[in-house]
Amino acid sequence: MLRYILLGFGLVVLCLLVWNVGPGNIYEAASNLGLSTLFLILIPSVLMYVIEAYGWKIVLGQAAQGVSFWSLLTIRTAGEVVNMTTPTAFIGGEPLKVYLLNKNYQVPISEGGASVVIAKTTMTIAEVVYILGGVAVGFWLLGSGASAGQTIAAALLSVGLLVCSIVGFVFIQQRGLFASILSLFQKLQIRIQALEAQEEHLRSIDHTILNFYSEHRRPFYASIGVYFVGWLAESLEVFGIIYALGGSISFLAAISIGAFAVFIKGGAFFIPGSLGAQEAGNVLLLQAFGYSDVTGITFALLRRFREVVWIGIGLVCLALVGKRRLSKGHRAESPS
């Protein structure tokens, strides 16, 4: 029930933003963009998805030998649909990825589960580095005076808390992530049958994660580097959208805006699709960099357009991997 309330609140905020800026002004700014421009705006997001799929493949290691890169990209895109459309802190699609790897390509649950946990960790570490770099660039570009300095200071404090959370998350993984969760629930006398039924698999995932951190440090750091390049593609999208809207922008400013935009979206994870909060944050962000509110809301809506496109692509990918699973099931049932 709460998610519907938050979704409704976000929709109201978005409508108020559009009304305040003026639908006519937004239409005029967007109407100057042709189909070719919209296509070009989507290219950085294609790079992001491809690069991030490779970052996952690195930590999947030997278990990925029987999975082609494009199959892995399809599974990841299908899982990201769940992350993008549900208020699950961008982790709701991870179990789906494990399930699809296991059912379609017989990747053991321990290997697949460990890979999504480690990939989420390396991606988040790269994200924090990207945000810290963007905040530092923003501090240099905007200075420390007035509201800009306060915004950057607040962002630094928030990112500092995020860094501590990541360090704590890695520490818990090394002590047994799922074992710690199960132990906590036992101490609190909370029984979740779904978790208890999978206890053996969960402890096996813990063992695989621990083995990865102790024996595969090079792939761990390589995955962080690959994901960081993927986050930089976010800045390329920022650069392309603002340039298409007729604004002048340096790539350093694009890095800073992209980093803050990622931070804003992550901070609104509890709202389905970050609706309303993402748009309001982007408008304020671009105003801080000297752009008009028309450019800000059009920028936000174009990024939302990109998300809608990828939701559609993700649903197609989900249908494809589901069809593959069904066809394999039919082949297994057919007489030899």
Give pLDDT tens digits for 217-268: 899 999 999 999 999 998 999 999 999 888 889 999 999 999 988 888 877 7
pLDDT at 156: 66
Residues 114/120/123/128 CA torsion (nearest 10 deg): -130
pLDDT attached to residue 223: 94
Instruction: Flag whether the pTM goes above 0.85.
Output: no
DSSP conformation class of 289: T
The reported pLDDT for the residue numbered 191 is: 63
Taking each helix axis from N to C end, the angle separating 217-244 and 199-215, rounded to the nearest 10 degrees, works out to: 90
pLDDT at residue number 336: 46
> How much is the pLDDT for 105?
86
Per-residue model confidence as pLDDT tens digits over 182-219: 777 667 666 666 666 666 777 788 888 888 888 888 99
- CA quadruple 291, 293, 298, 304: dihedral sign: positive
Say if CB 74 and CB 94 are below 8 A apart: no
What 8-state DSSP symbol labels residue 84?
Answer: H
Residue count of the chain, please give it. 336
CA distance 264 to 102: 34
- Which residues of the chain fall below pLDDT 50? 330, 332-334, 336
Q: CB–CB of 112/64 below 8 Å?
A: no
